[in-house]
């Protein structure tokens, strides 16, 4: 008999962990709803025709493909096996697990655009899958919490995303964070001025790794991707712009010959202005010209959130996509969104000890079970507690009190109601505080008042 094990990059979550995760989900959901976003769910898997080509070459390689049902090899020839894995994959797999929530959302918008009130604001809290190399803070199965607006070009949406992040993270206890912002138009402008027009895709993929591999390795990768030595040399200003007091001014001078680059800078300045008008005090935002984000569908603002003083990757990211729905035959529907990585947020909160103590407890009070009479009497009390909104349970077996109290202690149940012959006769129940050991004789109404 084989020993059970978990697939690499996945995790079980017991009751204590789920209580903490639910705290994150509920906090995020409340903020999303407060900003006018509506709930949505899409299937765990999509047709590969929906997913492929939306995440860049590296993203396509990280898609989990699902083998076709039945004898999927029956129609294959010897040539199919020798042509390489890419053409072979297309013949044996038609579906894949979703890589993110944005592309399925775009597919949903296209399929339902006639019934949606535009602009359409939706939030989605569901798992996604990536065939990545597992490591701390990087899993193959993880939850994302997405909020997107489609059907408007207004930069108010970008400013609202900044405010939304400043609403959610402090509510989770994460107060030391930085929202890094850039614009894909700026990166396109940079490609223009360094003499690499049309190569902004590989440029973004390379410089997005700057904080992980450093400037020298980035330059080596650019050379491997076909950038000339002159272009790489002309890229030097990018490594110092973000540290200047007024990076937009220096950027305007550098990109003065690029119309699209200047448009990107103007959009960034407008977002900064709107964030100020919205009254956000001391916004934790930072312009970072090296922020690229590898996903190929971003066309405007791009966001990334880092929790400071924690050795973990970004906990949130997103951006503006002007034509994601165009790949599904409906061009021109602009959108912008943000995604929060619940698993990384969870790890940050664990490391910084930010979860409220109350999240470890689900049951507030347990009723003891001494014998048949006490059991039946306890059954009349149990619904009164639950109807008052108090999480309550009853020990199911008539066993020694020590075993029952040990159970309550292991589950971190803070109160136990002891029901014996004296309590049944007097109508006054014994409420035991499991933390202090204090016991009180009280009417059920008094217990409800204390625990409610």
The full DSSP string for 229-292 is HHHHHHTTTHHHHTTSSSHHHHHHHHTTT-HHHHHHHHHHHHHHHHHHHTT-SS--EEE-TT--
Inter-residue contact 314 to 92 (CB < 8 Å): no
Domain with CATH 3.40.50.800 in the chain: 361-451
Taking the C-alpha atoms of residue 217 and residue 214, their distance in angstroms, rounded to an integer, is 6
Domain with CATH 3.30.930.10 in the chain: 25-63+99-351
Q: What is the CATH number of domain 361-451?
A: 3.40.50.800
pLDDT of amino acid 311: 85
Inter-residue contact 119 to 148 (CB < 8 Å): no
pLDDT of amino acid 78: 67
Taking the C-alpha atoms of residue 379 and residue 400, their distance in angstroms, rounded to an integer, is 19
Q: What length is written for the chain?
A: 452
Q: How many alpha carbons fall within 13 Å on the CB side of residue 262?
A: 8
pLDDT of amino acid 242: 58
Residue 310: what are its φ and ψ, rounded to 5°?
Answer: -135, 130
pLDDT of amino acid 151: 93
Output the 3-class SS for 380-424. Answer: HHHHHHHHCCCCEEECCCCCCHHHHHHHHHHCCCCEEEECCHHHH
pLDDT of amino acid 180: 94
Per-residue pLDDT of the chain (452 residues; tens, 9 = 90+): 789 999 999 999 998 899 899 999 999 999 999 999 999 999 999 999 899 887 877 788 899 998 888 777 777 766 666 666 676 677 777 899 999 998 899 899 999 999 999 999 999 999 999 998 888 768 899 999 999 999 999 999 999 999 999 999 999 999 999 999 999 999 999 989 898 888 877 887 788 787 778 888 888 888 888 888 888 888 888 877 755 567 788 889 899 999 999 999 999 999 999 999 999 988 999 998 888 876 667 889 999 999 998 988 899 999 998 877 888 888 888 899 999 989 889 989 999 999 987 655 689 999 999 999 999 999 999 999 999 999 999 999 999 999 999 999 999 899 999 999 999 999 999 999 999 999 999 999 999 999 98
Taking the C-alpha atoms of residue 262 and residue 352, their distance in angstroms, rounded to an integer, is 41
Sheet with 93-97, edge to edge strand ranges: 45-47, 93-97, 65-67
Would you list which residues are annotated within the binding site for L-histidine? 100-102, 130, 144, 148, 293, 297-298
Residues 6+ apart with CB under 8 A from 189: 255, 258, 260, 261, 262, 264
Taking the C-alpha atoms of residue 16 and residue 343, their distance in angstroms, rounded to an integer, is 15
Q: How far is CA 129 from CA 9, 134, 141, 195, 329, in A?
A: 10, 12, 5, 37, 26
Inter-residue contact 84 to 1 (CB < 8 Å): no
Q: What tokens does 393 get?
A: 């349970």
Q: Give the global pTM.
A: 0.83
Residues 6+ apart with CB under 8 A from 148: 102, 105, 121, 122, 123, 335, 336, 337, 338
Taking the C-alpha atoms of residue 49 and residue 47, their distance in angstroms, rounded to an integer, is 5
pLDDT of amino acid 36: 96
Taking the C-alpha atoms of residue 322 and residue 336, their distance in angstroms, rounded to an integer, is 8
Number of continuous H segments (helices) and E segments (strands) in the chain:
19, 16
Q: Distance between alpha carbon 311 and the CA centroid of its chain, in Å?
A: 18
Would you list which residues are annotated within the binding site? 100-102, 130, 144, 148, 293, 297-298
Taking the C-alpha atoms of residue 364 and residue 367, their distance in angstroms, rounded to an integer, is 10
Torsion sign across C-alpha atoms 442, 445, 449, 452: positive
Which class is domain 25-63+99-351?
A: alpha beta
Q: What tokens does 71 get?
A: 């004898």
pLDDT of amino acid 82: 65
pLDDT of amino acid 157: 96
């Amino acid at each position: 008999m084989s020993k059970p094990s978990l697939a690499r990059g996945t995790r079980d979550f017991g009751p204590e962990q789920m209580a903490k995760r639910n705290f994150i989900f509920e906090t995020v959901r409340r903020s999303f709803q407060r900003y006018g976003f509506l709930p949505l769910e899409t299937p765990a898997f999509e047709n590969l025709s929906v997913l492929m080509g939306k995440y860049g070459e590296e993203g396509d390689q990280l898609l989990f493909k699902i083998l076709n049902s039945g004898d999927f090899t029956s129609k294959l020839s010897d040539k199919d096996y020798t042509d390489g894995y890419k053409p072979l994959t297309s013949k044996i797999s038609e579906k894949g697990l979703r890589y993110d929530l944005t592309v399925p959302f775009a597919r949903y918008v296209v399929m339902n655009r006639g019934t949606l009130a535009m602009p359409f604001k939706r939030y989605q809290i569901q798992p996604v899958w990536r065939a990545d190399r597992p490591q701390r803070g990087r899993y193959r199965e993880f939850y994302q919490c997405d909020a997107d607006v489609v059907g408007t070009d207004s930069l108010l949406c970008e400013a609202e995303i900044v405010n939304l992040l400043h609403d959610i993270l402090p509510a989770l206890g994460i107060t030391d964070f930085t929202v890094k912002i850039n614009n894909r138009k700026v990166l396109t402008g940079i490609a223009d001025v360094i003499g690499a027009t049309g190569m902004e895709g590989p440029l973004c993929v390379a410089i997005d790794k700057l904080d992980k591999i450093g400037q020298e390795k980035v330059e080596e990768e650019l050379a491997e991707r076909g950038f000339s030595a002159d272009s790489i040399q002309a890229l030097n200003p990018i490594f110092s712009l973000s540290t200047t007091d007024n990076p937009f001014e220096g950027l305007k001078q550098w990109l003065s010959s690029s119309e699209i680059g200047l448009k990107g800078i103007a959009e960034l300045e407008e977002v900064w202005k709107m964030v100020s008008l919205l009254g956000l005090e001391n916004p934790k935002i930072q312009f970072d010209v090296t922020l690229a984000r590898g996903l190929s569908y971003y066309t405007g603002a791009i966001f990334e959130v880092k929790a400071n003083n924690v050795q973990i990757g970004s906990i949130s990211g997103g951006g503006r996509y002007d034509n994601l729905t165009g790949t599904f035959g409906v061009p021109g529907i602009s959108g912008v969104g943000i995604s929060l990585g619940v698993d990384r947020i969870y790890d940050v909160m664990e490391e910084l000890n930010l979860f409220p103590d109350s999240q470890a407890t689900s049951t507030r009070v347990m009723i003891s079970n001494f014998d048949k009479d006490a059991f039946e009497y306890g059954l009349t009390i149990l619904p009164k507690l639950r109807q008052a909104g108090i999480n309550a349970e009853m020990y199911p077996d008539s066993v020694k009190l020590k075993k029952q109290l040990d159970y309550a202690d292991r589950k971190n149940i803070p109160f136990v109601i002891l029901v014996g012959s004296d309590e049944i006769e007097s109508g006054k129940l014994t409420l035991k505080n499991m933390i202090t050991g204090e016991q009180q004789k009280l009417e059920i109404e008094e217990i409800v008042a204390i625990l409610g």
